[in-house]
Structure 1
Amino acid sequence: MDIETMSRTAEALVAPGKGILAADESHPTMAKRLAAIGLESSESVRQTYRGMLLGTPGLSEFISGVILFDETIRQRTPDGTPIPELLRRQGIIPGIKVDGGIKPLAGFPGEVATEGLDGLRARLADYASLGARFAKWRAVIRIDGALPSATCIETHAHALARYAALAQEAGLTPIVEPEVLMNGSHTAQRCAEVTVTVLRAVYEQLGHQHVVLEASLLKPNMVLPGVDCPHQVSDEEVGRLTIRTLRQAVPAAVPGLVFLSGGQSDEQATARLAAINRQGPQPWQCSFSFGRALQGPVLRAWAGEETNRGAAQAALLHRARLNSLARSGEYAPSMEAVS
């Protein structure tokens, strides 16, 4: 376990002006994304799309790392270059999603647990040999009436901590992702309360498992009202609530936070990231790890046509640049128009 190397990776991933591209969609999720532009999801189509996405010239100006899926980290470009090597040549750090997805939490209707701890040590070693330098595990917490239960929170916190300990054992910087979903009618204040409770439980378990926080990152949700809540709040209020909430639970030893977009639109995610970064200096870098909020415009511009490759890559660079500006709070909605 080389803590110094993992700490340097964590710091590089949240370098000022940069963030992470999440390209770790599972097969079912990727099938939905491709179906939306009229394409059937096959290995060759996924390979072509992700090769175009990750081969975007100039991407490293705004993107520090990419989270890959198991299929993608094993794929090559048409000239035979392994995808992790393609990223490294651009100065982008390859990472890997290692959880096994969510399943119903037995005995707790309406709640889920994340699977994938069985065999994880061997899989992490394999991913490290393929070129990954960081890993990610996602937990999913739903707010609904009395939910989440204490058992659900404890289950997720323990799994996240076991994963993080195993990742560091393998020399991979762990990204810990306890996502409080924005689905539902709960208020922003309820989201804040649940988020604090979840994060305190997660960091308690990370301590129990001897995870070195300086060599890890947190991928948190923003503090938002549920999508069906009648009382929505401004972007600046999201920024204020999010920072106030995280300061109650996230240790200063953590180098950075890479916010998830969690179903927000491209513009919402960027505007709220900017609002978060306008709250003043924080103990951690406040960055991004966006999937759909970066890839949505790319997929629409590409539409499966090789002739659209340039336009699709330009769409990615435009979106990535706006999120880069949001890192310093400098983003404004007027920048959305492509010049």
Structure 2
Amino acid sequence: MNIDELKSVAQAIVARQKGILAADESNPTIKKRFDPIGVESTEENRRRYREILFTTEGIERYIGGVILFDETLRQSSRDGIPFAHLLSGRGIIPGIKVDKGAKALALHPGNKVTEGLDGLRDRLAEYKQLGAKFAKWRAVIEIDEQNVPSAYAIRANAHALARYAALCQEADIVPIVEPEVLMDGAHDIQRCNVITSQMLESVFSELNAHGVLYEGMLLKPNMVIPGMKCPQRTSAEEVAQASVRCLRRYVPAAVPGIVFLSGGQSAEDATDNLNAMNAMDANPPWQLSFSYGRALQAPVLTAWKGQESNVAEAQRAFSKRCQLNGLAREGIYSRAMENR
């Protein structure tokens, strides 16, 4: 394990004003994104869409890393430059999604566990050769008001995250550890806080047991936020206070950065909530940053619509979202900036 390399990569991804573009949608997921804009999910359309994102001018100021899907890591630009090399040449670190998705957890109805550990050591070696310097594994934690998640589901997912993280560091790849407590459902912010706390406590217990170097990893958690069907609405300040309080209790200060997922929030809400955290907490022990998928890409898809004539407009939309989230990293974003 090259400790210095792991540390430097992790720190570079969350350097000042920077965060992560999550462009690791599986083929079924990207189809869901393309369907509303009338674009067929062919390999070439997926390649072209990602190329539009990766070649947008100036994004290297705000994007420290990009999470790629297996197919995308093997693709190239129109000029024949492999995407990993294209990104690296712009000072953006390429990463790779390595999990195989969440499946039903046997004997625990309503709970899921993420699969993909079998063969992971060999896959990581190949991804390293293809240019990936970090990886991502997502655990999916659903909530109901009583019995989900089960205590065992939390432990099983935490254990898998730790095994994945250890394998990554063995291969000199920075692991992004993603325990996502879903926003689906009617649970309130207090219920989200309870489950997020339990999940983080279990995750770091397992990471410690597996010998994972905290300084050479990043955490990608959900924000502490009510479910989308909850009648209770919360302000950005309330989400920020609940989230940072929870993280301060359970995340070691040695972790270089926390890169929040957007989890179904609107682009504006995700930026606003991140901004509130950085505006509120002037001296957190870790960088508070972003690893957004839909919250960065939704305006791009709306502008693009699969038409080459719309590429410039789509790239302007992407550039704007990157810049606004870079400002949120400093706690100086405001909703008024959305209309400029």
Q: TM-score range by the shorter chain?
A: over 0.9
Q: Which residue of 1 aligns with 2:61?
A: 61
1:310 aligns with 2:312: yes
Q: Which residue of 1 aligns with 2:293?
A: 291
Distance 1:39 1:260 in 2: 25
Native 8 Å contact 1:67 1:96 kept in 2? yes
Q: How does 1:78-117 map to 2 (within 5 A)?
A: 78-117=78-117
Give 1:101 deviation, angstroms: 0.5
Q: Deviations over 1:192-224 (max 9, x none)?
A: 111111001000000111000000000010000
Q: Which residue of 2 aligns with 1:321?
A: 323
Counterpart AA for 2:41: S
Native 8 Å contact 1:139 1:177 kept in 2? yes
Normalising by structure 2, report the TM-score.
Answer: 0.98
Distance 1:156 1:83 in 2: 31
Q: How does 1:67-78 map to 2 (within 5 A)?
A: 67-78=67-78
Q: How does 1:222-241 map to 2 (within 5 A)?
A: 222-241=223-242
What secondary structure, in the 3-state scheme, does the structure 2 residue paired with 1:36 have? Answer: helix
Counterpart AA for 2:289: S
Distance 2:233 2:301 in 1: 29
Q: Which residue of 1 aligns with 2:136?
A: 136
Native 8 Å contact 1:22 1:290 kept in 2? yes
Distance 2:267 2:161 in 1: 28
Distance 1:139 1:186 in 2: 19
Q: Which residue of 2 aligns with 1:213?
A: 214
Native 8 Å contact 1:114 1:139 kept in 2? yes
Distance 2:302 2:54 in 1: 16
What secondary structure, in the 3-state scheme, does the structure 2 residue paired with 1:203 have? Answer: helix
Native 8 Å contact 1:243 1:279 kept in 2? no
Q: Which residue of 2 aligns with 1:179?
A: 180
Give 1:279 deviation, angstroms: 2.0
What secondary structure, in the 3-state scheme, does the structure 1 residue paired with 2:37 have? Answer: coil
What secondary structure, in the 3-state scheme, does the structure 2 residue paired with 1:277 have? Answer: helix
What secondary structure, in the 3-state scheme, does the structure 2 residue paired with 1:206 have? Answer: helix
1:333 aligns with 2:335: yes
Distance 1:52 1:85 in 2: 15
Distance 1:36 1:44 in 2: 18
Native 8 Å contact 2:138 2:179 kept in 1? yes
Distance 1:26 1:251 in 2: 31
Percent identity of equivalent pairs: 57
Structure 2 residue runs without a partner (length 5+) = none
Counterpart AA for 1:109: P
What secondary structure, in the 3-state scheme, does the structure 1 residue paired with 2:326 have? Answer: helix
Q: Which residue of 1 aligns with 2:47?
A: 47
Q: Which residue of 2 aligns with 1:16?
A: 16
Give 1:178 deviation, angstroms: 0.1
Counterpart AA for 2:192: C
Give 1:278 deviation, angstroms: 1.7
Counterpart AA for 1:206: L
Distance 1:262 1:47 in 2: 24
Distance 1:278 1:185 in 2: 28
Counterpart AA for 1:46: R
What secondary structure, in the 3-state scheme, does the structure 2 residue paired with 1:41 have? Answer: coil
What RMSD over aligned residues (CA atoms) do the two structures have, in Å?
Answer: 0.7
What secondary structure, in the 3-state scheme, does the structure 2 residue paired with 1:278 have? Answer: helix
Distance 2:300 2:222 in 1: 23
